[in-house]
């Protein structure tokens, strides 16, 4: 075996262990809504992104079973585009009130694909420092100039947009930040983008299904139209309870992505069954049931925040389902997560490099399926001794 590589892996492992940053994958053997059997013991789940509880909804499960194929059989451009894929793309465009949608295997791949297809040398990509790793990796892969501004600092974003005089400008932001839960100042960012002739790209991963009218997302909630936010990422693995992603927006940009985005071309299409399940979720979030679930979720968020404030817990300024408790120290965050688990609550400690150094946290996420009693129980468990 290659000696240097092996040695490097071992060294990094030792460092990771010493810093309490080694991650483990817990095995979930059974799941029923917010109840999870983890390594043989039932826990209440407060760390999933299944904000509306759709991942086990009968409508999605029924759609999965309509499948005639467990595989995508080829790339979309070869012979992989099934009727289910086409129907889902139309349903997504209708829902988002945007001209066109294009499917990708995952949100991670979609972000790489979009930035690589649209940007290159001489262009600039301006991003919030707390953007998701996929946006950061995408800008690096694109080979463009890459500028990051302090979290939600619109004035800094404007300064960075102004540095590019020749090429194309793209301003990318999470709509809801995945580890902090706050919402980007989208109205101000859209104004900045317009003034500097930049394309605003909004990653709706944690907003789709939960924010805005009909759950259209953060851009819609901020009142942005097709001209203000011409390209948006919708991921299916969070509130939509499925897996996969789509980029939705301007028809010419989408056609360019279809023709050139490597992350969409050189990969197998998602299973048609997955597309059918996702389409069921898209229908659900727009209907009365989706509205009722969002209402329940917002009641749960309000209950949790009020209770946490009363206990003096270090909440971040988030109004979404993502309610992190800042701890700081990695080992301390791990110990807090273990203590919660001992009381039957599953909350993951999020440590660097997923979050900046010194900002380890308990990332508590709420779901429409949590009951008042379960949230009250979690608050009791979080109460300082």
Ligand X SMILES: *Cc1c(COP(=O)(O)O)cnc(C)c1O
Name the residues annotated as catalytic: 178, 206, 238
174 binds ligand X (CB under 6 A): yes
Tell me: does residue 132 bind ligand X (CB under 6 A).
Answer: yes
Interface residue with ligand X among 85, 206, 216, 370 (CB under 6 A) is 206
Question: Nearer Cβ to ligand X, position 148 or 159?
Answer: 148
In the complex, the smallest distance separating the C-beta of residue 138 from ligand X, rounded to whole angstroms, is: 10
Considering beta carbons, is residue 202 or 313 the nearer one to ligand X?
202
The answer to whether 53 and 368 have CB atoms below 8 angstroms apart is yes
Instruction: Identify any residues that bridge with 173 across adjacent strands, giving them in sequence order.
Output: 202
Q: What are phi and psi of 271, to 5 degrees?
A: -55, 135
Query: Which tokens in the block code for residue 43?
Result: 């826990």
Alpha-carbon distance 295 to 286, whole Å? 13
Shortest CB 58 distance to ligand X, Å: 23
Is residue 47 near ligand X by the rule CB under 6 A? no
Decide whether 108 or 346 has the Cβ nearer to ligand X.
108
Site for ligand X contains 274 (CB under 6 A): no
182 makes contact with ligand X (CB under 6 A): no
Question: Any alpha helices (H) in 198-271, and if so which ranges?
Answer: 218-221, 251-260, 262-265
Q: Which of 189, 205, 224, 282 binds ligand X (CB under 6 A)?
A: 205
Stretch 112-131 residues interacting with ligand X (CB under 6 A): none
CA separation for the pair 204, 320 (Å, rounded): 13
Binds ligand X (CB under 6 A): choice among 157, 245, 366, 369: 245
- DSSP bridge pairs for 338: none
Q: Is 48 in the site for ligand X (CB under 6 A)?
A: no
CB-based contact 318:324 (threshold 8 Å): yes
CB 37 within 8 A of CB 30: yes
Q: Pick from 131, 114, 134, 133: which is nearest to 123 by CA?
A: 114
Q: Does residue 235 belong to the site contacting ligand X (CB under 6 A)?
A: yes
| Closer residue to ligand X (CB): 132 or 363 | 132
Decide whether 249 or 313 has the Cβ nearer to ligand X. 249
| By the rule CB under 6 A, 108 interacts with ligand X | yes
Which residue of 45, 96, 134, 374 would you call a contact of ligand X, by CB under 6 A? Answer: 134
| Residue 52 contacts residue 285 (beta carbons within 8 Å) | yes
Nearest to ligand X of 107, 230 (CB atom): 107
Decide if residue 203 touches ligand X (CB under 6 A). Answer: yes
Beta strand 198-203 pairing with 169-174: parallel
The 3-state DSSP composition of the chain as helix, strand, coil percent (nearest 5) reads 45, 20, 35
3-state secondary structure 99-124: CEEEEECCHHHHHHHHHHHHCCCCCE
Interacting residues of 253 by C-beta distance below 8 A, sequence separation 6+: 118, 199, 230, 231
The nearest distance, CB 360 to ligand X, in angstroms, is: 18
270: which DSSP letter? P
348 binds ligand X (CB under 6 A): no
> Which residue stretch of 101-109, 280-288, 353-361, 375-383 sits at the interface with ligand X (rule: CB under 6 A)?
101-109
Shorter beta-carbon distance to ligand X: residue 287 or 356: 356
For ligand X, the nearest residue by Cβ is 107
Among 48, 178, 300, 348, contact with ligand X (rule: CB under 6 A): 178
Measured distance CA(143)–CA(137) in Å, rounded: 10
How far, in Å, CA of 281 to CA of 241, rounded? 7
Minimum distance of ligand X from residue 297's CB (angstroms): 17
Q: Taking the complex as a whole, how short is the minimal distance between the CB of residue 382 and ligand X, in angstroms? A: 24
Query: Residues interacting with ligand X, by CB under 6 A?
Result: 106-108, 111, 132, 134, 174, 178, 203, 205-206, 235, 237, 245
């Amino acid at each position: 075996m290659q000696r240097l590589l092996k040695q490097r892996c071992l060294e990094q492992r030792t460092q990771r262990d010493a810093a309490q940053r080694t991650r483990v994958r817990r095995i979930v053997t059974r799941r029923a809504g917010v109840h999870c059997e983890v390594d043989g013991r039932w826990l209440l789940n407060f760390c999933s992104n299944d904000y509306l509880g759709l991942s086990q909804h009968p409508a999605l499960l029924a759609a999965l079973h309509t499948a005639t194929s467990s595989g995508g059989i080829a790339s979309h451009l070869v012979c992989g585009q099934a009727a289910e894929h086409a129907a889902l793309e139309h349903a997504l465009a209708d829902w988002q009130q945007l001209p066109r949608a294009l499917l990708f295997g995952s949100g991670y791949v979609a972000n790489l694909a979009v930035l690589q297809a649209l940007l290159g040398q001489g262009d600039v990509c301006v991003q919030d420092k707390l953007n998701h790793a996929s946006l950061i990796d995408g800008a690096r892969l694109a080979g463009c100039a890459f500028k990051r501004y302090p979290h939600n600092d619109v004035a800094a974003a404007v300064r960075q947009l102004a540095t590019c005089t020749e090429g194309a400008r793209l301003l990318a932001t999470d709509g809801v930040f995945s580890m902090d839960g706050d919402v980007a100042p989208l109205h101000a960012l859209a104004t900045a983008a317009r003034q500097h002739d930049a394309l605003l790209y909004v990653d709706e991963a944690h907003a789709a299904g939960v924010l805005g009218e009909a759950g259209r997302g953060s851009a819609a909630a901020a009142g942005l139209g097709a001209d203000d936010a011409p390209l948006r990422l919708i991921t299916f693995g969070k509130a939509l309870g499925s897996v996969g992603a789509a980029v939705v927006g301007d028809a010419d940009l989408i056609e360019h992505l279809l023709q050139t985005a490597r992350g969409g071309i050189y990969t197998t299409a998602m299973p048609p069954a997955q597309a059918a399940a996702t389409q069921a979720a898209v229908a659900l979030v727009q209907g009365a049931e989706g509205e009722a679930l969002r209402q329940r979720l917002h009641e749960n968020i309000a209950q949790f925040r009020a209770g946490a404030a009363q206990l003096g817990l270090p909440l971040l300024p988030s109004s979404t389902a993502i309610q992190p408790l800042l701890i700081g120290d990695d080992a301390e965050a791990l110990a807090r997560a273990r203590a919660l688990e001992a009381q039957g609550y599953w909350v993951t400690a999020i440590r660097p490099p997923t979050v900046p150094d010194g900002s380890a946290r308990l990332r508590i996420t709420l779901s429409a399926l949590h009951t008042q009693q379960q949230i009250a129980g979690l608050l009791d468990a979080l109460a300082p001794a």
